[in-house]
Structure 1
Amino acid sequence: MDQRLLIEEGDFLNLYKSWDAPTVIISDGPYGIGGFPGDPKSAKNLGKVYEPFIKAWAESSTPNTTLWFWNTELGWANVHPVLEKYGWEFVNCHIWNKGKAHIAGNANTKTLRKLPVVTEVCVQYVLKPEFVIDGNSLSMQEWLRYEWKRTGLPLSKTNEACGVKNAATRKYFTTCDLWYFPPSEAFEKFTKYANENGKVEGKPYFSLNGIDPISKDEWDKMRAKFKCPFGVSNVWEHPPLNGKERLKNGSKSLHLNQKPLKLMEIIIDISSDIGDVIWEPFGGLFSGAIAAHNLNRVAYASEINGEIFKHAENRVKSILDQPKLNLLLDQ
């Protein structure tokens, strides 16, 4: 297996076109709190800051891609409309609870008149597959029904095609919000049935290129990967980094908000497989790239701040010097 850990100094927008397409994108960029050079002092305009990145992510991704968007609650709220604009569909909001130990020095409640903040969010998005028919964009749910109707066969035949009593019509071809994504085995069955029994003049059915129906393997790539580890919910109880994992320059932390490798590994493991490509466009100290390395994924990461990059580069080199894997470091 070709396993690579590519880190680059510079703006992601000038670098990503040479990267392989991502299965996972980890965004841990500006929060709108003035925490570092280039971070706006307010979250109000974060949508404009992120828009060129979000557009680039969408253009480089497929329905197989998951985006994990780290931010404050307010920062995320301001960016969410831009994510939707470029086809990113909200899946779930995950809360990192740093615990009461994070309160110390974190809030003057008499002045701010609010409870201490000990959380931030990591929000899961996927790209919605869209199907353009006669200039109109259809969702997957709409497209499946449209294709079956083209066959001239009654909808009840979808059950016969899948070898079930009523599940296919009720789940895969319904117009209501109880719709289910058809598993590849079911998709293969009703696609074959449609092309064998549907009107000859409409063939092929369930095709994107007008020549061949979508294969089972191609269908599997029409939605993002996901597996739920036992015992993990959308609330992550983990203290902020203060121990050996925290990188410091003397007594001062190198990065305002270094993410725990454990949390990075959770989101990568949930949404990718060994050998998949992970992007970290706002690399910081490259916690996402290192977590990808730990899980035998291929990592591409960038960091625009030259000083931070030097420290992060040393961190990555120290990881690569360990005997676990023989990876390549490209600069």
Structure 2
Amino acid sequence: MKFYDKWDPPTVIISDGPYGLGKFPGEPHTPDRLAEWYAPHAAAWAKHSEPFTTLWFWNSELGWAKSHPALEMHGWQYEEAVIWDKGIAHIAGNVNSRTIRGVPVVTEIAVRYTRKATLPNLEGDELPLKEWLRYEWQRSGLPMSQSNAACGVANAATRKYLTQCHLWYFPPGEAVVAMAKWCTEYGFKTDRPYFSIDGIMKPTADAWNQMRAKWLHVHALTNVWQEPPVHGSERVKRSEGGYFHANQKPLTLMERQINASSDKGDVVWEPFGGLMSASVAAAKLGRRSFAAEVNVEFFEAATIRMRNALPVRLLKAVS
């Protein structure tokens, strides 16, 4: 919490924090109090984020269900839930069929959220983008149908860009600029530019496109990610033997999340670093990362791991 003010604003936040297992000091021993635990973090993330920030929230199915209300309350909008399927080998030989009272668990969940973006109207009320777009057009006094002519489309403006139903579609920046130009030329005269993001400057396509979280689609990739738990050389082990961290995430999953939600040079936050797998993946992909870890033993091991992933001149570790 004390570092968020010092980090650059994030494009992606990868949260792999407590699951409610009581594994480290301060972690709840059950998922029941996770919403309370995550609430100040969710609020801080939202405070320091941009409209285009994506949050990937890792947890168990129950842990996420308990945490979701806190995330939603503090400015995060649910987009989709991704299931990590670790495969049958994860539990093979470890299940007693005479005593188990359910199906064996081989999954974790990574839920994608985006920052809830709002813009003010003339009265200073913050409106969701869907409502704000329609408000801006309506204050011109022009018929809604003219928005189609403004955008050079048959009916997409009224059917998608300005509708308030489930068919609403985030308009491309060029469409917003075109609507602003049309309203300025044909609508009521106003001191506040139409569709102005800051209330002062005319909108630009680039500025408007920055109001939506980044997303790079990959064909044939579904919301079930089949990947075995980390083994072999990628697994960080203790010098005396044994795994260093019980829940080390595969780099392939971290890379998939970062690639989907950011571009090279963007900033990745890893608030609960552990062995800092997200930061290692960020380094490999040409992103800048900021991470924190309260467990000194994990922090020191992660620092060594990061030194192997980054040139020393680019690594700054503060204990």
Q: Which moved more, 1:267-276 or 1:245-254?
A: 245-254
Using the TM superposition, give the Cα deviation of residue 108 of structure 1 relative to its aligned residue in structure 2, in angstroms. 4.6
Tell me, yes or no, if the aligned pair for 1:106 and 1:117 is still in contact at 8 Å.
no
Partner of 1:330: 316
Partner of 1:56: 44
Q: Pick from 60, 85, 99 the counterpart of residue 97 of structure 1.
A: 85
- Change in Cα spacing, 1:151 to 1:206, as seen in structure 2 (3 Å) is same
Is 1:183 aligned to 2:175, yes or no?
A: no
Partner of 2:56: 68
Partner of 2:195: 206
Hey, what's the Cα distance between the residues in 1 that align with 2:114 and 2:257?
Answer: 13
Tell me, yes or no, if the aligned pair for 1:30 and 1:38 is still in contact at 8 Å.
no
Partner of 1:245: 234
Using the TM superposition, give the Cα deviation of residue 18 of structure 1 relative to its aligned residue in structure 2, in angstroms. 1.1
Is 1:223 aligned to 2:212, yes or no?
A: yes
Tell me, yes or no, if the aligned pair for 2:193 and 2:202 is still in contact at 8 Å.
yes
Using the TM superposition, give the Cα deviation of residue 166 of structure 1 relative to its aligned residue in structure 2, in angstroms. 1.2
Using the TM superposition, give the Cα deviation of residue 219 of structure 1 relative to its aligned residue in structure 2, in angstroms. 0.4
Using the TM superposition, give the Cα deviation of residue 118 of structure 1 relative to its aligned residue in structure 2, in angstroms. 0.2
Using the TM superposition, give the Cα deviation of residue 129 of structure 1 relative to its aligned residue in structure 2, in angstroms. 1.0
Q: What pairs with 1:268-307 in structure 2 (closer than 5 Å)?
A: 268-307=258-297
Deviations 1:161-206 (A, max 9, x none): 0111211111101121101000112112111111222111364111
Q: What pairs with 1:1-331 in structure 2 (closer than 5 Å)?
A: 13-104=1-92, 107-108=95-96, 110-133=98-121, 134-201=123-190, 203-249=192-238, 250-320=240-310, 328-331=314-317
Deviations 1:118-173 (A, max 9, x none): 00000000011112332533211111111101001111110110111211111101
Tell me, yes or no, if the aligned pair for 2:176 and 2:203 is still in contact at 8 Å.
no
Hey, what's the Cα distance between the residues in 1 that align with 2:220 and 2:35?
Answer: 34
Tell me, yes or no, if the aligned pair for 2:50 and 2:115 is still in contact at 8 Å.
yes
- Change in Cα spacing, 1:213 to 1:232, as seen in structure 2 (3 Å) is same
Tell me, yes or no, if the aligned pair for 1:97 and 1:118 is still in contact at 8 Å.
yes
Deviations 1:20-39 (A, max 9, x none): 10000000000012334433
Tell me, yes or no, if the aligned pair for 1:107 and 1:117 is still in contact at 8 Å.
no
Deviations 1:19-65 (A, max 9, x none): 11000000000001233443322000011111111111000002100
- Change in Cα spacing, 1:106 to 1:135, as seen in structure 2 (3 Å) is farther
Instruction: Give the letter aligned to residue 22 of structure 1.
Output: P
Identity %: 52
| SS at structure 2 position matched to 1:44 | helix
Deviations 1:69-123 (A, max 9, x none): 0000000000000011011000010000000011146555544411110000000
Structure 2 unaligned blocks of 5 or more = none
- Change in Cα spacing, 1:254 to 1:153, as seen in structure 2 (3 Å) is same
Partner of 1:3: none
- Change in Cα spacing, 1:188 to 1:299, as seen in structure 2 (3 Å) is same
TM-score by length of 2: 0.94
Instruction: Give the letter aligned to residue 328 of structure 1.
Output: L
Hey, what's the Cα distance between the residues in 1 that align with 2:181 and 2:278?
Answer: 42
Instruction: Give the letter aligned to residue 87 of structure 1.
Output: G
Question: Aligned residues, how many?
Answer: 315
Instruction: Give the letter aligned to residue 270 of structure 1.
Output: A
- Change in Cα spacing, 1:316 to 1:210, as seen in structure 2 (3 Å) is closer
- Change in Cα spacing, 1:243 to 1:235, as seen in structure 2 (3 Å) is same
Instruction: Give the letter aligned to residue 267 of structure 1.
Output: Q
Tell me, yes or no, if the aligned pair for 2:84 and 2:108 is still in contact at 8 Å.
yes
- Change in Cα spacing, 1:110 to 1:130, as seen in structure 2 (3 Å) is farther
Structure 1 unaligned blocks of 5 or more = 1-12
Tell me, yes or no, if the aligned pair for 2:284 and 2:309 is still in contact at 8 Å.
no
TM-score by length of 1: 0.91
